[in-house]
Structures are given as C-alpha cells and as structure tokens.
Amino acid sequence: MKLRRSSVTAPLFVAASLLATMPLHASDRMITDKELSDESNTADWLAYGRTHSEQRFSPLKDINTENVNQLKPDWYTPLPDKSDMVGTPLVIDGIMYYVGEMNKTRAIDARTGKVLWEYDPKVSKEIADNGMKKVFWKHNRGLSTYGDKLFIATWDGRLIAITRKDGKEVWQTRTFDHDQPLNITGHPKAFDGKVFVGNGGTELGPMRGFVTAYDTETGEQVWRFHIVPGNPADGFEDAAQEMAAKTWSGKWWENGGGGNAWHGWTYDEKYNQLIFGTGNGGPWNIKVRSPEGGDNLFLCSVVAVDADTGEYKWHVQTAPGDTWDYNSNMDIVLADHLEIDGKKVDAALHAPKNGFFYTIDRSNGKVISAEKFADANWSTKFDLKEQRHIIAENARYLDGEKNIYPSAFGAHSWHAMSYNPELGLTFIPTNHLGNTFKDDGKNTKSDHKMESHKLYLGLSGWLLTKDPHETRGSLQAWDPVKNERVWQVNQESAWGAGTLTTAGNLVFQGLPDGNLKAYDARNGNELWSYDVGIGIVAPPITYKLDGKQMISLLVGPGGALASNFGGSGELGFEGHGWKYGVHERRIMTFSLDGKAVIPAQPAPAFAKPILDEKFEIDAKKADAGAGVFAGNLCVACHGGGAVAGIKAPDLRESPLLLSGNEKLFESVVRGGALLDNGMPKFPDLTDEELESIRHFIRRQAHEGVKSGGGH
C-alpha cells in the first residue's frame, strides 16, 4: 500500500500543566525487543499480553492470596466512550495509554488517572470522505509500542504511528482499499522494527484474508501473507498459496474464501517467527464456498511465518473444512521448556473456538496434545499420528440440521487467557453454549453467491442453544502438560472477561454482571470481589509505581454477545440492564491502600418499546425488513430481532421510527447523520428497503409492548 502522510492532528484534552507532570524520560526511552521480552520488569505493561510471550503473567506478589481481600479503589477516570471497553491499556514510565471508542487514543497519568492528551484519528471523516460503506465495530482491543512511538489500527483500515510523548501523528498508511468490506478491531503487534496487523470481515463478501507487516519508522509495507489462495489462473504469490489451493474446490475466489485474522498473534523471537491465528470460512457453509469439500487452507489455523520475510514455516489447522465459524483468532501463548514425555519443549498454547486445547511444539509446528476443554461434539478427537481432527458423523449438517457444541461464539473467544509459569496452569474464560445449524439446500444452488458488504452465512437458519449441557460460562485452569482441567468455577453468564495471573498465586477476571473477582490460582477459590456497577469484558493489567502494586482495567461491556446477536439478553449482557448511554465507562485502578471514593453507577435499565398507534404495520413489509435488517448487519449493533444489547440504542424505543419521522430516519441511515457516533451510513438502500426496516422495527416494538417488557 502507498504510504500516506498527513498533517499532524492536534491532540484534544491537552493542558500544559498536566503535560509538565509527565516523567522526563517518558519521551526519551526507546522501547526495543529487549524491553518487550523482559519478564522481570514490573513497573510497565509494554505489550498486549505484557511481554512478547503474551502470558499475561506478572511476577508481582505484593498483592497475594493472603491480603487480596484488602484491595480497594485507588483512582478512577470517567471516560467519554459510550460502548465497548474491550482493550488492554499499556503502562510505560508511569503513563497509561488506551484506545477507546472510534479509535480515540488517550494518555493518562497511571498514578492519578489524570488525562494528559488525546489523539483523534477522525474515523468518521475518513469514512465520509472516501465513501466507505457499512464499516462496523467501533472498538479496538489495544495498541502497541516500539521505539518512541505508539501504533493504533483504526476500524476503517488505517495503521497510524503517533509519538508517546504528546500523541502527535508521525505517519499513517492504509492497510486495505476503501471499497473492501473489511475492518480492524485487533491490536497491532510491534516487533523487531516492524508492526503487524490483520483485519476482519469474513462474512461480508468474497475475499482473501491477509496479514501484513509494516516498517515502524516509515509505515512502508515489509511483507504480506495471504491466508486464502487466489484464482489459480492468475498464478500464486508463493509455494504456500499453491499448496493451499489444492485443498479447495469450485470457484472459491468468486464465491467465498475468508480466513481473516482479526486477533491472536505472537512474536516468537527465539525462532524468529510470527505466529498468528486465522479466521473462519466465508460463508460459513462449506457447501457454498468449496462445494466438493477440502480442508480449505489456511482457514481456522495457527500459522507461523518468518518474522523477517513473511515466508511460510508451518501450520496447524484446528478445524479442517470449517463449517461452524470455528476461527482460531484466539490467544497464542509462548511457554518455554515444558517437561513433556521426558523432553523439554518450547510450546505455543492455544485454546480456540472449537473447544480443544492445543500444546504445539513451536520449533516445528507439531501438535503434542489436543484435548477437549469444553463440550465439543463436532470432532471425535485430534489424531496425533495423522496430525488432524477426526470429524464426527453429520457434523457438517448434511441432513439439513444439527445441534453442535460449541456454538459459533466459541468455547473460548478473544477474551484473554493467561498462563502462570510458576504454577504451570493456563486460565481460560470459557463459554458452554451450543447452536443449531440449518441448511435447507437452497443456499447451495449455483446462483447463491456472496455479495460485497452483505452478510451471508450460507445457512437457512442458526439458533443458539439456551440450555447448555454444563453451564453457560466458566473460568477454568488447564494443565498443558497433563492435558487436563485442574479446576473450574461455573458462572451464570457466558462471555466472562479476559484474565490476569500473578506470582501472588492469583488470577483476576471481570464478569458480565459487573463484578471483578480474584481467585486463588491453585484451586479456584474466590478470595475477593468488587462490583464496578457495569459489565466487564476487558482484561485487567498490573504494574508497580512508587513501591505500590496497582491493578487496572477498562470498565464497560462489549463484544459479540454484547451486541445481542442471539436476540435474547439471557445469554449476554443485555439481561443485566447495561443499557446503551446510561452507565459511565471508566478506567478503574485498585491497590491495597486505596482510598478513592467511587460515584455509584445508575441502576440497571432496560428498553421501553414505544407503541405508535398511528403506524399501520404491513406484515409483508415487516418480513422483508427483517431480512434487510439482518443482511446489512444491523444486528451487529442493534441486536437480533431489534432487541439491542449495549452497543447502540434500542430502536424499538427510538422516536426516529415513529410516524412522521421518515426523513429523519433516512438522514441517519442513508445520509450518515450520526456517523460521528459510529452509526454507519447505507447509501445503497432503496426507499422500499428503508420502509421495510421501519415496518420490521415497529412490529418488534409493538410485540415488545404486548409482552410487557423490552428484553
């Protein structure tokens, strides 16, 4: 991609008096791989998983099992963000950095919580100026540092370098073309003078997923690796693409592909490789994208490439012939010198959506063990001799319908797992949901193709299982050497937040109900809990300043279940009453001698659908509107069945949908009037489609009123 330099964006929130309090060395210190690999550093949190190992383990033990019950709020900062707080902050020389809504990046004094500066990448302007369509997911899971810079990735597809000192823009580059239906929600990964980034968007059109590394100083592309091969008639970029093409059938380059790597990557300095997880197939149904079957490389895989050149080294496919949305975009944790079968193994640990925990010899990509950590009926086992899964009978719903565990939300999603090398345990936020896939055969006809910017799964139906076999959610400790669960704490809700573990024999995790908990990492006993007043999905971090250990995290729910894709608040966040725009998003920090007084959050609130007696609902239009609403991915923010989660307003109570407000509705949906709030514009929608959406939402509102509630 061509490098694009732009004028420096003047940071907001800047005050000279605050900047003067910043440590002098905050701008002078050059972060290198030596610092990023230093497991003994307890003053900083320099990377997404603290260090290059991505273990999320801290050797700090000032806070431990004996005194954690004395943990109290030390400071908090109210944030202007309204929705997903999913990211991991960095702490460098006493300054905390985080990415918020619309990719706005802020620097905060890690001792007091004072905001020092803000950088605004002006995402809505980038979208509007370039006619970008239907860009979703206004959140991001973190940022990266190298040298004296911070790196952020915007959901409209830009990679941007800014100075750590004052947030001034150094360079920005576009990672994909404006007309591609892609987005970025994952954190960039900086290493060895390069910064790596992926993208998402698998279900929104035929595409080849890819990952790219850029130069940290200039923003110039260094290398790119394609996850799905292109049209064989055009030739292949390298031998890996030619190998992968043999595992596909039909014209996948026209009617599918996918594999987008939107999260889950690790720099392995010891073997000079970048290891990343890849996405699911697009569409989900393999009978559409690859009609004669095949493994479909490199979908749903752990892939290692040369860190200098991007050349393929090895891969492990976790879901061959994926038909279940079992991407491998989850954490990849490095653990050195594990004693396995009498040998020392440098391992990569991985617990993807599919419900199996993998211990991989990262020197050669061989799977040493792969056992079920959750109910998983799609595969009978991973055959270690053949190094591949044995797919269960009818798992690909050849008979038209099949109840499958885990669900497409995954037994483990992007919520950070952690690894405690002193205990030899991995801590996994686990979901125990299932789902039913339905295929009536109509989607496999030759005239069914993926369209750009249109949601298409290749299914006739998909339904979450509301009564899991075991429990809806849990936190579990897994021993990667013995290949077994050590303990499990059952939880009422799925979607437990990411984890942090420490040498104090602790593991911390937040929950959808708003409680931040500390457990004894050895046995799972709960030792401490604090109600922050709103759901949590971000993982905590820890650091030590002025002799005091701190625990910090972003507060506010987010992610796919927060979108209420399933149309019911029983499984996600909506049932807890975290209504959009009601509860304050915050950064909260705890210490053993904390004395901060934290203002109470508002009480849980729920949508109150409006009954518009003047609006005459046309059933046929409402039925058509349901399809338009889903096909344009309105469900991503406004919820399945128009029952919103926490990411956007519940349209059943919006005055925009009432009689007489047709022009206002059009100005928002087609004209982009609320683009600054993260509401995409849909200029291609016809008058008929707009009208059908209105009838669908009004019908949902009326049914909500009749049922006596909004959830």
Catalogue the active-site residues.
Answer: 325
Q: What whole-number distance in Å separates Cα of residue 151 and Cα of residue 158?
A: 10
The single residue listed with the structure tokens 């080294």 is 313
Measured in degrees and rounded to the nearest 5, phi and psi for residue 431 equal: -105, 140
Angle at 455 between CA 453 and CA 457, to 5 degrees: 140
By the 8 A CB rule, do 302 and 316 touch? yes
Contacts of residue 341, Cβ cutoff 8 Å, sequence gap at least 6? none
Per-residue b/e over 223-252, b at no fewer than 16 CB within 10 Å? bebbbbbbeeeeebeeebbeebbebbebeb
Q: What whole-number distance in Å separates Cα of residue 332 and Cα of residue 320?
A: 19
Under DSSP, the state recorded for 424 is T
By the 8 A CB rule, do 353 and 404 touch? no
Under DSSP, the state recorded for 36 is H
By the 8 A CB rule, do 13 and 101 touch? no
Tokens of 409: 């939300």
Give DSSP secondary structure letters for 643-697.
---SSS--GGG-GGGSTT-HHHHHHHHTT-TTGGGT----TT--HHHHHHHHHHH
Per-residue b/e over 49-73, b at no fewer than 16 CB within 10 Å? bbbbbbbbbbebbbbbbeebeebeb
Output the 3-class SS for 261-312: CCCCEEEEHHHCEEEEECCCEECCCHHHHCCCCCCCCCCCEEEEEECCCCCE
For the CA atoms of 345, 348, 353, 354, the dihedral, rounded to the nearest 10 degrees, stands at: -30
Measured in degrees and rounded to the nearest 5, phi and psi for residue 690 equal: -60, -45
Q: How far is CA 610 from the centre of its chain?
A: 33
Q: What whole-number distance in Å separates Cα of residue 503 and Cα of residue 506?
A: 7
Tokens of 569: 């608040």
β-strand 207-208 against 257-258: which pairing, if any? Answer: parallel
Contacts of residue 304, Cβ cutoff 8 Å, sequence gap at least 6? 268, 271, 273, 274, 275, 312, 313, 314, 315, 362, 365
Whole-number CA gyration radius for the chain:
24
Among candidate residues 21, 25, 57, the one with its CA nearest the CA of residue 39: 57
Q: What whole-number distance in Å separates Cα of residue 592 and Cα of residue 550?
A: 8
Per-residue b/e over 117-128, b at no fewer than 16 CB within 10 Å? bbbbbbbbebbe
Prior bond to 540 cis, omega within 30? Answer: no
